[in-house]
Each structure stands twice: as structure tokens, then as C-alpha cells.
Structure 1
Amino acid sequence: MAILVTRPAPDNKRTAAALRARGYTALLSPMMRYEAIPFHDEDDAAYDGVVITSANAIRAIESHPSRTRLFGLRAFAVGEQTAEAARNAGFGDVVSAKAGARALGDLIVKNAAAGRLKKNATLCYLAGADLAHDLAADLGARGFTVVTHTTYRMVPVAGFPAGISDAFRDGGIDAVLHYSRRSARAFLDAARADGIEISALALPQCCISDAVAGLLREAGAMQVAAARTPDEAAVFEVLDRTIKPASKET
């Protein structure tokens, strides 16, 4: 069974490898492209912790002079994938929340209540340009000072890579994986531009959240399923339920 992966590079390669390990064929069609935004910080800026909501945010500081100072702080990450990326980059103390930005805010509050973080801590938030949830405002309302550094943006990709539209027309794709509303919107735009919207939306759409699923349902997709939690393991569970295991290619 051929599964279209719409998430951006380099994460899509890891997803493709995981799909192949589960017996699927993976086709890559990244609908968003990463662009770094230079990280600028005051030399005397003092933080008590670092907040990270995407592994993409870490790339901007991996070679920055401030990295050593930041790596010595406790990092609060959304999801184990982002936590792992933080550890690989050099953060020594990383804790993660598994259920999105709101859960991450709760985790930070719990750390402060338990004495593992100052109750009025100043936090360095490494963020993307487009945020689904205003975590800085949420934490600010809870008594923290949040200094937001926008370190990257994700830019929609116009159109599918060579061969993907033909694969839709020829029945060579069995399901599509979606990881954000913005990438799902870019997917819909590409399908309309190539005149394959009906074929593309007739397939199972496996989504990381209800918000992403809702966008696809509004566009006319009939076979839409959302993951129970916003992580890739849950997306794969949706895929396995949608595509019968007995029909997988081996």
C-alpha cells in the first residue's frame, strides 16, 4: 500500500522509514518548506528555562554562540520527538509534554509548583512564525516572563513533486498523512491546481488532529480520521485502522 507523506523535510524521511518498517510504501510530497530566521539575543539575557514546541526551532541555535548558555538550562519540549532533537542538539535537561502546547504550559506550571523551576521564571521560547496556540500569553497569565524568539517559518510549497499527480490519477496512492492545517491547505491547493481534487479527496485522509481533519472534511473529503493524540504514533494507529493490515504489501 502506497502512503503519501505531506510533512516537510527532514521529518518526512523519518516518517517514510517508519512506514516502510510497518510494511507500507512511502511517497514523499512535502507541502511546507523550512526557512530559518536568524537568532538574535542579548549577551546579558538571563533565562531560567527554554520552551520548544518544534524540533525545527532548535536548528536556528545549533551553531549560535548562545547555544552553550541555553543548553545548560532545563528545556520544556512538546512531544518526545522534539525532546529527542533537543537532547541531540546538546540540551542536558529535557522534559516533555505529550499532548500539545496547552499540556506543555501545564507541565511548566507543575515544575514551578514542585520547585524544579522558579515560580516567576523567565523563559526563552524558541518559536515558529505561525503558532496554533499562544503559549507565551498562556504562560504570561500564569506569572511567567516569556521572551519569544521566532527562529523559523514554514512556507507552503506550490504544487506536488513530479509524478505525484499521475500517481493520484492512476490509483497509485492508497492514503494520505496530514500533520498540520497549513500543510493540509497547501495539499488542497495543489490538488485543485492539478485538477485531481476529486481523486485526491476520495482517498483516506489520516490526520494528526481534529482541527486538521475538519479542514479536509470541509473541502469534501469523505474518509477522514483524526489521531487520538497529536503525535505520529497515533497517526500510524489511524492509518493501520483505515488500511487493513491484511492488504499491506510485504
Structure 2
Amino acid sequence: MAVLVTRPHPDNEATAATLHARGFEVLLAPMLRFEALAFQDDSDAHYHAVIVTSANALRGFERHPSGQRLLKLPLFAVGEHTAQAARHAGFGDVIAADGGVAALRDAVLASVKAKRLKKAGTLLYLAGADLARDLAGDLGERGFTVVTHTTYRMIPVAELPPAAREGFAANQIAAVLHYSRRSARAFLQAARTAGVEISALAIPQCCISDAVASVVRDAGATQVLTASRPDENALLEALMRALRP
């Protein structure tokens, strides 16, 4: 029996390696496809810090000469995975929040309180094309000026890979891991298209947040487990609970 990982490439490979190390068989079915967008920096703009809610926003960033001046700024990352991507891109002063947009906002506010960051400063938000929460507006209400640059978009994948379709048809998939509302919706649509929706929803659906869980629950899934915090370690803990004898 295999665990189906819907996380996009290339992060799904790290997830697969972790699952293999824990003794699981793995099937990869990335339901979103990454597409980088050109980064156009305004050289006259002055920023006090950079904020990032996904490692995807930093993929390929190091290849943009116009962004090199930003590497000297402090960067606030939503979690440690994104923080590692920031360090790889060349940022030296990286602050990792505990996961989730609210935690990232609180980390920015805490830096102001600690006088590490200027109050009412200008923040550069490197973001995706589809945002689940208005972080810029949230920080704007607290006196910051937030300039948003869209550096990537995630495109839904229309079909399940053949191995996933066959796995559902043969009842050889033990659980599904979901990482975002958009990828969960894409998974559901692909399962319907493949004619395996009933089988796909009859097994545990392990979700990284309540918001993601609501998508699969509304679709009819009855075995829905939510991570205790929005990170992969907690998601894998949910998987262990789901498959516990």
C-alpha cells in the first residue's frame, strides 16, 4: 500500500525520501505545476525587509541580477523550509516564523518591538499569483507599506498520473497527503475525470491545515485528518495517526 503525495515538484521528492525512510511506499501525483515569472525590481525603491510565504517565490531568484541588492536585507520566511530556500538564494539575515501567514505577520511585528525592524517601514513581498490570505493588507493595517512582486504561479494539473489512477482502481493507495486548497481542488477534479473519485475519497485524507481539510471534507471524504500545525512534520504525524492499527 502506498501513500499518494500531491505536493508539487521538486518538494515532493524530499517528501518521498522522508516517507521511504519511514518504510512507506510512495506514489507521486503533483497536482500543481510551478512556473517562474520574471522579477522586475525597481532600483529606486527602498525596502526595509523582504517577506516570503513560499519557497517557490525564491526558486530561480538567485539568477535575477536585479535582485542582488535585496540579499543584504533581512528576510522573513513563513517557516524553516522557506527560510532554507532564502539562504540558498543568498540571503544572509533570515528570520523563520513557526509556519502560517499569521505567524509570519507576528514575526514581523515582534522584530519591530525588538527594534530590529523599523516601524511603518516598507516591505517587499515576493509572492505567488494566487494568495490564500491578504498578508499585505494585514500588515498595511499595522502601518507598513507592502510592495508585492509576483514571482511565480502554480498551474493546476488536469490528470492523475497513470500509476495513481491504477493504484486507486486496485485499492492499493493507503492515504493521500494534501498541501494546499488549490492542489486539493485539482486532485478532486482529476480523480473525477479519471473515474476514481469514490475510491480516492474512501481512504484517509491528511491535510496540512483546516482550510485544506474543508475542501476534501466538502467533497465527501469522511476520513479527514488535519496537521496540528502547518508544516510537513505535523502532516506526517497526522499520516501516522491515520494508518495506526
State the TM-score, normalizing by the size of structure 1: 0.96
Between the two proteins, the alignment pairs up a number of residues equal to 245
Tell me the alpha carbon deviations over residues 143-200 of structure 1, each in whole angstroms, 9 at most, x when there is no partner: 1111100001111000111221111011111100000011000110011111111111
Tell me the alpha carbon deviations over residues 38-78 of structure 1, each in whole angstroms, 9 at most, x when there is no partner: 11111122111000100000024221113321111100000
Contact 2:62 2:68 in 1 (8 A): no
- Alignment partners' CA distance in 1, 2:183 and 2:68: 33
Contact 1:181 1:212 in 2 (8 A): yes
% identity of equivalent residues = 62
For the structure 1 residues 151 and 60, does the alpha-carbon distance in structure 2 shift closer, same or farther, using more than 3 Å as the test?
Answer: farther
Query: How do residues 84-103 of structure 1 correspond to structure 2 at under 5 angstroms?
Result: 84-103=84-103
Are 2:176 and 1:176 aligned?
Answer: yes
Give the equivalent residue in structure 2 for 1:152: 152
The alignment partner of 1:211 has SS state of: helix
- Alignment partners' CA distance in 2, 1:157 and 1:76: 30
Please report how far the alpha carbon of residue 120 of structure 1 lies from its aligned counterpart in structure 2 after TM superposition.
Answer: 1.7
Query: How do residues 1-250 of structure 1 correspond to structure 2 at under 5 angstroms?
Result: 1-244=1-244
Contact 1:34 1:152 in 2 (8 A): yes
The alignment partner of 1:95 has SS state of: strand
- Alignment partners' CA distance in 1, 2:74 and 2:17: 31
Contact 1:39 1:60 in 2 (8 A): no
State the TM-score, normalizing by the size of structure 2: 0.98
- Alignment partners' CA distance in 2, 1:72 and 1:115: 18
Please report how far the alpha carbon of residue 95 of structure 1 lies from its aligned counterpart in structure 2 after TM superposition.
Answer: 0.5
Which segments of 5 or more consecutive residues in structure 2 lack a partner in the other structure? none
Contact 1:157 1:186 in 2 (8 A): yes
- Alignment partners' CA distance in 2, 1:122 and 1:229: 29
Contact 1:60 1:152 in 2 (8 A): no
The one-letter amino acid of 2:128's match is G
- Alignment partners' CA distance in 2, 1:230 and 1:132: 14
The alignment partner of 1:163 has SS state of: helix
Contact 1:5 1:178 in 2 (8 A): yes
Contact 1:38 1:60 in 2 (8 A): no
Contact 1:37 1:60 in 2 (8 A): no
The alignment partner of 1:3 has SS state of: strand
